Amino acid sequence: MAAAAAGPERTGPGAIALLGPAPGAPSCPHGPALLFVKTSQGKEEGRRFYACSACRDRKDCNFFQWEDEKVSETRLAAREEYNRNHQPSFTHQQNVDRYKNFVLFPLSKRRFCQECQQLLLPAEWEEHSGHQFLCGITTAQLKSPSQLLYPLENKKTNAQYLFADRSCQFLLNLLIDLGFRRVLSVGTPRLHEMIQSKASQEEEFSVRSLLLDIDFRYSQFYTEDEFCHYNMFNHHFFGGEAAREICRKFLYEENGEKVIMVTDPPFGGLVEALASSFKKLMAMWKETEKEGHDNKEMPMFWIFPYFFESRILDFFPSFSMMDYQVDYDNRALYKHGKTGRRQSPVRIFTNLPPSMIVLPEEEGYRFCSVCQRYVSSGNQHCEICNSCTSKDGRRWKHCVLCKKCVKPSWFHCNSCNCCTLPKHSCEKTDIGCFLCGKAGHKRSACPSLS
């Protein structure tokens, strides 16, 4: 089994654990399925099954197959036909050709169907006559497809919460200042289009970008060298080996053009599946030049909420979390704010030295000379922990009993023997261990672990 994850994605009675990609796995319209296992309280392991890699909600993709299930030839044929019928209407090359024709028309003949999310050629107007469409599509709109397309807001699959201009511009300026000239944009369409737009307008602009995204609608606006249809949950290139080769070629560092991967996955996605795919992209980069990459990781920005820090560090111990708050245009909860709950919880995780990441002082960030990194203004250095400990932008307080800093709203509960919210249910020892089902101890202290 290739690159299986090191532990369950979520635990509890009747939990489901991800085992990872498996050779010969069956496929759904989103590519090869992932292997999972059902676990139940008091049992070692349950029955294994395959499910869609991208959709955790069966309403979005109902693919399901037990690992030991024998599938008939009739059902296999029906599945293949279903997968074919659920592919896009046009190939990427056809969309590129359509775009070339589309831009030749005057503004009066440039239409975009909002219901089908498709650029329309005049010969297709009749079949879309009952749909709502936009007229007079300008070159500026074609250069900013993320604003023309409806965002897909299924938080577990697509979750196109698009970077606000503030964050997008900050990221691009930071990448340029760090000396990167190639950006592998994995699920970051707005950053990609900002780079593409600047490259077409400014002759001296030398940054290039390749977008990898599961949203095939972008193939209407970008060539095959600018966009690859890609599923980041199972490292699947829908364009096959040709698309893989485009990615490999892009990652090859020639003429000293440094490469960095910037990714903004759906926050409801499986962290283990994402980490597995990102490691494969890193391995692809390492293979491009064996001599110089032997003991290095491909530079990376993983943009994710701060409360996933421990999960990300499990898979990438070399990473650290920056204090910069990433905000989004179409997500009210992920907006930049100055105080308390108004602050966006989204951060940048990176394997670059923290001292290299310069954050804007005009937005309230400052450099901590002890930690040797930029932190938010509310993140005060704790002399006992010897670090700036806040994760959410507020000033945290040190608990002597817990021997660490905690959120300002938490207090130490003697029953739980840890800091927690004032209104909480104290841990009961008679609930029973998840592993063996017996009372008197928790999973971490279960004798069966030894």
CB of 25 within 8 A of CB of 35? yes
Q: Provide the mean pLDDT of the chain.
A: 86
Distances 235 to 46, 115, 171, 287, 324 between C-alpha atoms, Å? 26, 30, 24, 16, 28
CATH of domain 165-377: 3.40.50
Q: Cα dihedral sign for 314, 319, 323, 324? A: negative
Tokens of 275: 């980490």
For residue 161, name the pLDDT band (cuts at 50, 70, 90): confident
- Dist CA 30 CA 61 (whole Å): 9
Look at residue 156 and give its three-state secondary structure: coil
Which pLDDT score is estimated for 43?
61
pLDDT at residue 372 is higher than 90: yes
In whole angstroms, give the CA distance from residue 96 to residue 425: 58
Reported as a single tens digit per residue, the pLDDT across 270-302 is: 899 999 999 999 999 998 865 555 668 999 999
User: Which runs of E-coded beta strand occur in 48-108?
Assistant: 48-51, 64-66
Residue-range domain boundaries for the chain: 15-86, 92-137, 165-377
Residue spans of alpha helices (H) in 356-401: none
Question: Mind listing the pLDDT tens digit for each residue in 29-58?
Answer: 999 999 999 877 656 678 899 999 998 777
Q: How far from the centroid of its chain's Cα atoms is residue 425's Cα?
A: 33
Which tokens hold the place of 66? 């037990």
Tokens 């340029």 correspond to what residue? 176
pLDDT value of residue 430: 46
**Torsion (CA) 81, 247, 266, 234 in degrees, nearest 10:** 50
Residue 289 one-letter amino acid: E
Q: For the CA atoms of the chain, what is the radius of gyration?
A: 24
Per DSSP, 328 falls in state B
Residue recorded with tokens 């207090």: 411
92-137 and 165-377: identical CATH topology: no
Entry pTM: 0.86
To the question of domain 92-137 being in CATH 3.30.160, the answer is yes
pLDDT digits (tens, 9 = 90+) for 308-334: 999 999 999 999 999 999 988 865 554
Using DSSP's 3-state secondary structure scheme, residue 370 falls into: coil
**In whole angstroms, what is the distance from residue 72 CA to residue 429 CA?**
49
What is the residue type of 109? K
pLDDT value of residue 294: 61
DSSP code, position 376: E
